[in-house]
Homo-oligomer: A and B are copies of this chain.
Amino acid sequence: MGEIRIIPLTGIPEVGRGDDLGALVGDAVERASGLEKGDVLVVAHKVVSKAEGRVEKTDDVLSVILREARAVRRRRDELVIAETEHGFVCASAGVDRSNTPGEGWVVLLPRDPDASAAGIRSALGERFGIAPAVVVSDSFGRAWRQGTTDVAIGVSGMSPLLDLRATDDAAGRLLESTIIAVADELAGAAELVMGKAEGVPAVLVRGYRAGPGDGSARELVMPPERDLFP
């Protein structure tokens, strides 16, 4: 394994409903001198949601959060840890009040982030002749640890999990330590260059050779029967 480069894609304008995100990201990729085989494109969900019109103006954010949640896991004061329709567990069911189109607006999660990723992947594949793996990312808090890290909420063109188990382990004893959530690590790596307010909503990760295959970010969701923190 050689080195990995995390390359910011700059100059993407403010994205609004109906914008062709595949084209805007493609322009930025072109400015960054194109795609190479094995590239992974990480796109912040914010711009995906904005392009897809998943924003709304509200004076009652809590109602929006509860509508977007299929279950509330914990609540303390204004903090709501909720399970989204996709199965993700995160603060405010992914409803975001920062970097919105304006005061009183919120940004919701894309309805089908895997499909969003697939759309961008397909647009880039047509334009450049190379279809990168695409990860749609969001910043999630974690149980037991302070601060957010970016994780994958949508994936196309790669498996989000890298299974290093040499052999099957019927008891599942080694499961947790030998399956790596590489899509989450890619999202987190991309966040290091994205920053939050610097106008870099997309990043190319070059040199991480995602294995062949496809997958869904839903694979990153712990199935209920294995969830020890319901």
Question: By the criterion CB–CB under 8 Å, are B173 and A148 in contact?
Answer: no
Tell me whether A39 is interfacial, beta carbon within 8 Å: no
- This chain's copy number in the assembly: 2
Return the contact of A139 from the options B98, B180, B222 (Cβ within 8 A): B180
Interface SS of A by simple majority: mixed
Return the contact of A179 from the options B143, B147, B184 (Cβ within 8 A): B147
Chain B residues lying within 8 Å of A162, measured Cβ to Cβ, are 147
Not counting A3-B6, A148-B181, a sample of 10 additional A-B residue pairs whose C-beta atoms are within 8 angstroms of each other reads A4-B189, A4-B193, A91-B176, A143-B227, A145-B220, A145-B221, A147-B220, A149-B181, A149-B188, A150-B185
Identify the A interface with B (CB < 8 A).
1-8, 74, 76-79, 81, 88-89, 91, 96-98, 139, 141-151, 160-162, 164, 171-174, 176-182, 184-186, 188-189, 191-193, 195-198, 200, 207-208, 219-222, 227-229
